[in-house]
Amino acid sequence: MTIKQNLISAEQAADYLDVTTRTLANWRSLGFPNIPYSKIGRCIRYRLADLDSYIAKHSHNSMED
C-alpha cells in the first residue's frame, strides 16, 4: 500500500472517528488532541494508522472507568 492510499480526507476521518468535520477542524486549531495530519494545498489528509493510534490510546476497559 502506498502512502497516498493510506491518506484519507478530513470528511472520511471524521466519519471514521464518528465526529463532525467541524470537531476535527477545532481539534486542529487547538492542537488537542494531537492527531497528525497533512495539508496538501487546501486539502487536509489523515493517515489511517494515526487515527487507529488515537483510538487505541483513548480506548478504556470498562473495569478501568
Report the C-alpha gap between 26 and 46 in whole angstroms.
Answer: 15
C-alpha cell at 45: 489528509
For 11, the domain range is 3-53
Residue 64 falls within a domain, yes or no? Answer: no
Instruction: Kindly state whether residue 30 falls inside one of the protein's structural domains.
Output: yes
Question: How many structural domains comprise the chain?
Answer: 1
Q: pLDDT at position 33, please?
A: 86
pLDDT of residue 29: 94
pLDDT at 58: 84
Question: In terms of Cα–Cα distance, which of 60, 62, 8 is closest to 35?
Answer: 8
We report the CATH number of the domain holding residue 29 as 1.10.10
In a domain, 21, yes or no: yes
The pTM of this model reads: 0.80
Written as tens digits, the pLDDT of the chain (65 aa) is: 566 668 999 999 999 999 999 999 999 999 888 899 999 999 999 999 999 999 999 887 776 55
Q: By the 8 A CB rule, do 9 and 45 touch? A: yes
